[in-house]
Amino acid sequence: MTADVINWGLLALEPPGWGGVLLAGLFNSIKIALGGYSLGLVLGTGGACGKLYGGPVVKDLMEIYTTLVRAVPELVLILLLYYAGTDLLNRAAAALGYGTVNISGLAAGIFVIGVVQGAYATEVLRGAILAVPAGQIEAARAYGMSPLLTLRRVTLPAMLPHAIPGLSNLWLISTKDTALLAVVGFSELTLVTRQAAGATKAYMLFFCAAGALYLILTLVSNLIIRFIEARARRGWAAPS
Amino acid sequence: MRAEERAREAALLVELPPEETTVEATALTHLPSARGFFKPHRIVLMAVAGGLVFCAIWFLRWDWLPQYAGALAWGVGVSLLLLASTSILGFAIAVPIGLVQVTGPWPLKALAQGFCTIIRGTPLLLQLWLLYYGLGSLFPQFPAIRQSFLWPYLREAWPYGVAALTFSFAAYEGEVMRGAFAGVPRGELEAARAFGMSRWKLFWRIWLPRAVHRALPTLNGETVLQLKSTPLVATITVIDVYAVVSKIRQVTYLTYEPLLLLALIYLLLTALLVLAFRYFENKIPTRSV
Amino acid sequence: MTERAEAIAVRDLRKRFGALEVLRGISLTAHEGDVIAIIGGSGSGKSTFLRCINMLETPSSGSVAIRGEAIALKGDGHGGLAPSNRRQVQRLRARLGMVFQSFNLWQHMTIIQNVIEAPVHVLGVPRAEAMERGEALLRRVGLFEKRDVYPSFLSGGQQQRAAIARALAVQPHAMLFDEPTSALDPELVGEVLGVIGDLAKEKRTMILVTHEMKFARNVASHIVFLAQGVIEEQGPPEQIFGDPRSERLRKFISSVH
Amino acid sequence: MTERAEAIAVRDLRKRFGALEVLRGISLTAHEGDVIAIIGGSGSGKSTFLRCINMLETPSSGSVAIRGEAIALKGDGHGGLAPSNRRQVQRLRARLGMVFQSFNLWQHMTIIQNVIEAPVHVLGVPRAEAMERGEALLRRVGLFEKRDVYPSFLSGGQQQRAAIARALAVQPHAMLFDEPTSALDPELVGEVLGVIGDLAKEKRTMILVTHEMKFARNVASHIVFLAQGVIEEQGPPEQIFGDPRSERLRKFISSVH
Amino acid sequence: EPVKVGVAAEPYPPFASPDASGKWEGWEIEFAQAICKQAKLDCVITPVAWDGIIPALTTKKIDMIVGSMSITPERLKTIDFSDKYYNTPTGVIGPKSEAFDATPAGLKGKTIGVQVATIHQDYANKYFAPAGATVKEYQTQDEANNDLAAGRLDAVQADAIALTDFLKTDQGKQCCELKGNVKDDPAVLGAGVGVGLRKGDTELKGKVNAAIKAIRADGTYDAFSKKYFDFDVYGG
Ligand SMILES: Nc1ncnc2c1ncn2[C@@H]1O[C@H](COP(=O)(O)OP(=O)(O)OP(=O)(O)O)[C@@H](O)[C@H]1O
Ligand SMILES: Nc1ncnc2c1ncn2[C@@H]1O[C@H](COP(=O)(O)OP(=O)(O)OP(=O)(O)O)[C@@H](O)[C@H]1O
Ligand SMILES: [Mg+2]
Ligand SMILES: [Mg+2]
């Protein structure tokens, strides 16, 4: 129980070690982060297009969305969305006569992280699209491309190099935001760490172990990001 | 020389994407402009919004509000105090962290970079719990600490909250300051040297203010992000506005109302922060290119 | 001239930006094989005129017809016009090869991908066929070895030649050039003008805005001098440069020489 | 010339960057009131020489004396020299007004703050006095109305004039100019040269690196032609421009004219 | 359709805590399994953050709460309860080095830790805070215990069984002892612990009540209780 004897056996993968539980929690965190991030990308792409090309009403609605999400703490948003979002969904389903829909914790977590990420991604992508030289898009128009084709063939691929640093940061934020789901009792890495620490009283050991896991996740992600970035930057002249 | 290069390479391996790229995307730094507020579609939207607010007031329960007004105000005060103290302390640490990464000897450089990477690479919630439940429960095992004059403070929760938030701010803003220090044009520093400034004078009069000036827009965003991080301290028994609202939720068993109010409070606080920063930024105008 | 078909016919084109009337009634017909050079001072509306032809800029009034097919226009509710049929505009645009002052090559595609993009994705040419034709075009502008290189690795002159190949790849009815050399360093201008000169010799229909008077004189079959949004003077190069009538034109020519 | 005091005396200055020896033994004396223009091709070491005078670059060997006071130097352990007394360098620098090619005004201060910064914070002049003198200087360079404006809102020419006022504010024993006009648009060059010309007429000690030959000829009392790190030729302007001896100088003059 | 049984996501031994394989175990988990079996319900144990467990129930994230939740008049305004399934007194523990008793006078000037959203919180706020004690709220019981051991609290008030369990651990044995049980106040401390149910979910309530009666009658309840306690946890 004192710090001088660290009981590494507590981290063993098999019970009575808690390593397996931690890894399962990490796996849950990654699942939510991946799901939320993907959902965020979809929402963000829609949001950015809406903000740039939408009608006045769409533009204003998007502005409200990104303003609210960027001004309110994630923790508060997560609580609101976790309870309100699923409740509204249930009520809507009930009103439409579907009865209650069964929302798993995983889906709720993905939904919550996704909505938050969506607002962030909207801003990142909007900035990246604005960074595409207007002439590139005009050339597409001049060759008879329809607006959708222009978006698919020119605007989106051309903005990618501008968006990647921002999107990489969003991914790192998304992995860390999963920890906030601990406060609604979702069994991701941070919560299982707290449970393990509470059950064994080895607080330092487990929190440090979880920190190391998050850090590894971050650093491995970062290596992958660099690889992707190097590929997306093909075509950009090397900085002279 | 060789060692330095190796250290730099090793450090490069763990460098995270620059913080500046997302600050504006994750923190509100500009309020929507009031101009053109009265276009037809806006009036409709505002009517809808008004309707929603009315519904919220009419159909939801707000009778608990007067009873807790005092506690809420107190909580807001605690949140703001936390924000101010940790931002200022964090900034004070961020300056040397940014500076040594630009000019420091490599051991300091590596240390600063390691600090930034570890803090930026792990969730704040975890850091908070590590400090409070982890480190905090180790302290009393040392009689020396238990008997020291620090113990009355170490018993409390807020020092751990302040420490965690300060470190977090220092790491994120240190990364920003690194870019800001490195981005000050060499010529301006050279001009200062050419006018006979000593190193200290050059740092205090030219390099630091110029770097801060450059970092100001990002600093705005970082401070908003810091405000958004403060509610996490409620999980280690500090009673900020989030904790007050949690308590209201538990006592009244209301799901939405307290949270909506909380969101509104943070929205207003963010707007206030943005306005304050706009005031400062306008003091030193820069021509937008 | 009269027996050849009309490639581009512009009637009484007007364009205003807010209070500023940039084009004040321009009519111009380019028959198949015509090479028309548009010259004029800065701000005289040359670019705007060119951009109105393929509706990158919508005119305030007037009409444009490509190969006898009038572009359908309707009021846009703000006192100007807008195409009433977007598909028609896209179809007609697809066969007008436009070359911009700043090249506007797509930076995320290699040179050959730039060249085959419009044929494959707009005109629906099979990829292999487009590839083959694209490579032939690149060979022609002297860029075959650069086919798999990204644009930002090329010099300005090479980029502009690639842009010309891209415009040729859609087998255009007519080519539109907007100051194709003015973003280039002086030593690179020659290589681009050489390519355009060759195209002119083939009797391709071309409308080009240029500041290179010597070049315009050698290459164009017809010169149009724009001033303050109207055609101040037009005619064969010998007449425009040898015997300018209007005072303005005379001044303009002496200022650029 | 001989009876006037020595303002700047450089003896056998050498400077190497790694393997490259940029300055290969330069000696030059500027007496009070001299206006010395340094000319020479790109990379000939003009800037390096100027920067060695106030130790922004430390020489590899040789010595520099300001108003008869030699700058104390010691070996830096890498085969070069370094100032042995930092305070001395700072004190001497404070009275050498340096004007850079790219102005280097401090962007976070207004123009007047830029001007009074060194007098107040380095020389310890009372703020009110510095302010008064600074305003007089700004009036002199024609920037009085811009005193409370931040540098980024000024044109290049205005910025350079402000930089000159900043250099004058320390009441310098000598002024050093490193190509003060070469970062300016051609139409802005005149206003800056005008200010420098006025200073020259007042018989201020100045060393200026410039590419403006006509200006150097009109203003300088002495011309130094640097080539490949040595003084190839020097003398009064009439001789240098009218009757150049060395082949290199002759070539240089004809190339820049 | 499975019935989601909400348990607090925090360790609360001996009633419910996760083991090293991530499975939940404890007296209350066995109780939940017993009534589900009895009532032929297909149950899944769903951990939920304690302070959000009632919203989770009302927003249908879970269908019942088996989380040592006492039946209080205040809670009955929002949710419904089954009959009680256990009842234990409320105790106060403190460090061995200090002598005081579990009365408002004894706790004057002391910092007392309680878990949020519990009857103990309400009780401490009603009786001890006005008498000059500082009440500190914790997300989990476990963290309050830990802070007591760490010397950051002077006392912890909680369910007597949970406290006894803590005092049996190494950590508890070293530092602390039971200072006594508090004076009962049914208006605050409630009438025992019941299964939390959504209002209007009468069908489930009927099944649960019947199941509780049945396992009490057929000895199942006593059988698994013996594994944990050497007294009658059902209470009088
Ligand atoms: N989108 C626009 N909005 C407002 N004014 C415009 C716009 N485009 C062009 N103009 C104005 O129209 C006038 C003509 O512009 P245009 O680009 O056609 O001139 P130009 O003859 O091509 O000149 P240059 O030789 O400089 O390219 C200019 O005064 C310009 O400022
Ligand atoms: N810090 C440095 N490190 C290495 N080489 C340098 C450095 N500074 C200057 N040089 C080299 O020294 C040579 C002389 O440079 P310098 O700037 O003095 O030339 P210059 O005469 O001022 O030329 P210009 O007219 O282009 O300004 C150049 O070859 C330059 O590349
Ligand atoms: Mg133009
Ligand atoms: Mg130079």
C235: three-class secondary structure by DSSP: strand
**Pocket mutation for ligand 1, best pick of C15, C16, C17 (most atoms within 8 Å of C-beta):** C17
Residue of E nearest to A182 (CA): E49
**Pocket mutation for ligand 2, best pick of D14, D15, D20 (most atoms within 8 Å of C-beta):** D20
The 10s digit of each residue's pLDDT in A91-119 is 888 888 776 666 777 888 899 999 999 99
Q: Span B271-283, mean pLDDT? A: 88
The 10s digit of each residue's pLDDT in C90-109 is 999 998 999 999 999 999 99
- The β-bridge relationship of strands E3-8 and E64-65 is parallel
Mean pLDDT of all residues belonging to chain B: 88
Which residues is B269 bridged to in the sheet?
Answer: none
Look at residue A5 in the predicted model and tell me its pLDDT: 62
Give the C-alpha distances (Å, rounded to integers) separating D110 from C190, D119, D153.
48, 15, 10
Six-digit token string for B50: 């008004």
D117 lies within 8 A of chain B by CB: yes
Look at ligand 1, atom 25, and give the residue with the nearest C-alpha: C42
Subunit contact E9:A201, Cβ cutoff 8 A: no
Q: What are phi and psi of E72, to 5 degrees?
A: -120, 155
Answer whether residue A193 is part of any domain. yes
ipTM: 0.86
Residue B7 pLDDT greater than 50, yes or no = no
Answer whether residue C79 is part of any domain. no
Q: Beta strands of chain E (E only): which ranges?
A: 3-8, 17-18, 24-25, 43-48, 64-65, 80-86, 90-95, 111-115, 134-138, 155-159, 176-181, 193-197
Q: What is the interface size between A and B, counted as CB pairs within 8 Å?
A: 160
Q: Give chain C's domain count.
A: 1
Which residues form the domain of B120? 65-283
Q: Span E143-155, mean pLDDT? A: 89
Answer whether residue A24 is part of any domain. yes
Chains in contact with E via at least 3 Cβ–Cβ pairs below 8 Å = A, B
- The β-bridge relationship of strands D222-227 and D230-235 is antiparallel
Task: Residue B130: give its domain's CATH number.
Answer: 1.10.3720.10
Specify the ligand 1 atom closest to the Cα of C209: 22
Contact yes or no for A117/A100 (Cβ under 8 A): no
Look at residue B154 in the predicted model and tell me its pLDDT: 85
Subunit contact E151:B146, Cβ cutoff 8 A: yes
Contact yes or no for E131/E105 (Cβ under 8 A): yes
E136 lies within 8 A of chain B by CB: yes
Residues in the ligand 1 pocket, defined by CB under 6 Å:
C 17, 22, 40, 42-48
Q: Which residues surround ligand 4, an ion (CB under 5 A)?
A: D 47
C175: three-class secondary structure by DSSP: strand
Subunit contact B284:D150, Cβ cutoff 8 A: yes
> Which amino acid makes up residue A232?
A
Percent pLDDT > 90 in chain E is 54
Residue with tokens 């190097």: A230
Omega cis (within 30) before E14: yes
Ligand 3 centre to CA of C182 (Å) is 10
Label residue D60 by pLDDT band (50, 70, 90): very high
Contact yes or no for E18/A199 (Cβ under 8 A): yes
Residues in the ligand 2 pocket, defined by CB under 6 Å:
D 17, 22, 40, 42-48
Mean pLDDT of all residues belonging to chain A: 88
Ligand 4 centre to CA of E181 (Å) is 88
Label residue B1 by pLDDT band (50, 70, 90): very low
Residue B106 pLDDT greater than 60, yes or no = yes
Mean pLDDT is highest, among A83-87, B140-144, B232-236, for B232-236
Answer whether residue A185 is part of any domain. yes
Label residue E60 by pLDDT band (50, 70, 90): confident
Interface test with E, best of A89, A112, A187, A201 (most E CBs within 10 A): A201
B133 lies within 8 A of chain E by CB: yes
Which residues of chain C have a pLDDT value below 50?
1
Q: Span E122-136, mean pLDDT? A: 92
Residue E45 pLDDT greater than 80, yes or no = yes
Answer whether residue A239 is part of any domain. no
Ligand nearest to the CA of D39: 2
Look at residue C221 in the predicted model and tell me its pLDDT: 93
DSSP string, chain A: --TTS--GGGG-SSTTSSHHHHHHHHHHHHHHHHHHHHHHHHHHHHHHHHHHHS-HHHHHHHHHHHHHHHHS-HHHHHHHIIIIIHHHHHHHHHHTT-------HHHHHHHHHHHHHHHHHHHHHHHHHHTS-HHHHHHHHHTT--HHHHIIIIIHHHHHHHHHHHHHHHHHHHHHHGGGGGGGT--SHHHHHHHHHHHH--HHHHHHHHHHHHHHHHHHHHHHHHHHHHHHTTTSPPP-
Chain E residues 138-197 within an 8 A CB cutoff of chain B: 138-139, 143, 146-147, 149-152
Contacts of A126 (CB under 8 A, 6+ apart): A47, A48, A51, A52
Subunit contact A102:E49, Cβ cutoff 8 A: no
Task: For residue B16, give how far its alpha carbon lies from the nearest alpha carbon of chain A (Å).
Answer: 7
Residue with tokens 């080539």: D227
Which residues form the domain of C166? 97-172
Task: For residue C150, give how far its alpha carbon lies from the nearest alpha carbon of chain A (Å).
Answer: 5
Subunit contact B141:A222, Cβ cutoff 8 A: no
Six-digit token string for E177: 């002892």
HSE-up of C105 (CA within 13 Å, CB side)?
Answer: 31
The 10s digit of each residue's pLDDT in D228-257 is 999 999 999 999 999 999 999 999 988 876
Ligand 3 centre to CA of C102 (Å) is 11
Six-digit token string for B70: 């005092």
Ligand 3 centre to CA of C224 (Å) is 15
Residue A220: closest CA among A179, A178, A182, A168? A168
Interface test with A, best of E59, E168, E170, E176 (most A CBs within 10 A): E59
Residue B5 pLDDT greater than 60, yes or no = no
Residue A206 pLDDT greater than 90, yes or no = yes
Which residues form the domain of A61? 2-232
Q: Beta strands of D113-221 (E only): which ranges?
A: 174-178, 206-209
In whole angstroms, what is the distance from residue E214 CA to residue E218 CA?
6
Answer whether residue A111 is part of any domain. yes
Residue C237: closest CA among C217, C209, C211, C212? C217
Answer whether residue D201 is part of any domain. no
The 10s digit of each residue's pLDDT in D161-193 is 999 999 999 999 999 999 998 888 877 888 899
Contact yes or no for B187/D104 (Cβ under 8 A): yes
Look at ligand 1, atom 30, and give the residue with the nearest C-alpha: C43
Contact yes or no for C73/C84 (Cβ under 8 A): yes
In whole angstroms, what is the distance from residue C147 CA to residue C138 CA?
7
In whole angstroms, what is the distance from residue D133 CA to residue E181 CA?
83
Residue C225: closest CA among C12, C26, C16, C8? C26
D150: three-class secondary structure by DSSP: coil
Chains in contact with D via at least 3 Cβ–Cβ pairs below 8 Å = B
Subunit contact B259:A170, Cβ cutoff 8 A: no
Q: Span A158-168, mean pLDDT? A: 91
Q: What are phi and psi of B242, to 5 degrees?
A: -65, -40
The 10s digit of each residue's pLDDT in B150-187 is 888 888 899 999 999 999 999 999 999 999 999 999 99
The 10s digit of each residue's pLDDT in D95-119 is 999 999 999 999 999 999 999 999 9
Ligand nearest to the CA of C51: 1
Lowest mean per-residue pLDDT among B68-82, C180-194, D143-157, D208-222: C180-194
Chain A residues 64-123 within an 8 A CB cutoff of chain E: 79, 83, 86-87, 90, 100, 102-103, 105, 108
Q: Give chain B's domain count.
A: 1
Q: Span A214-224, mean pLDDT? A: 93
Task: Compare A85 and A208 and report the one with higher pLDDT.
Answer: A208
Residue D39 pLDDT greater than 90, yes or no = yes
Ligand 1 centre to CA of B133 (Å) is 67
Q: Is the dihedral of CA D71, D72, D76, D77 positive or negative?
A: positive
Omega cis (within 30) before A16: yes
Look at ligand 1, atom 8, and give the residue with the nearest C-alpha: C48
> Which residues in chain E have Cβ-Cβ distances shorter than 8 Å to B251?
74
Residue E1 pLDDT greater than 80, yes or no = no
Residue of A nearest to E142 (CA): A198
Subunit contact E51:B249, Cβ cutoff 8 A: yes
> Which residues in chain A have Cβ-Cβ distances shorter than 8 Å to E50?
185
Residue B11 pLDDT greater than 50, yes or no = no
Q: Give chain A's domain count.
A: 1
The 10s digit of each residue's pLDDT in D209-226 is 998 898 999 999 999 999
Answer whether residue B47 is part of any domain. no
In whole angstroms, what is the distance from residue A152 CA to residue A157 CA?
7
Look at residue B196 in the predicted model and tell me its pLDDT: 92
Q: What is the pTM of this model?
A: 0.88
Look at ligand 2, atom 7, and give the residue with the nearest C-alpha: D17
Look at residue D123 in the predicted model and tell me its pLDDT: 94
B61 lies within 8 A of chain E by CB: no
Subunit contact B155:E152, Cβ cutoff 8 A: yes
Residue B2 pLDDT greater than 80, yes or no = no
> Which residues in chain A have Cβ-Cβ distances shorter than 8 Å to B267?
68, 71-72
Look at residue A125 in the predicted model and tell me its pLDDT: 95
Task: Residue A142: give its domain's CATH number.
Answer: 1.10.3720.10
Specify the ligand 1 atom closest to the Cα of C18: 4
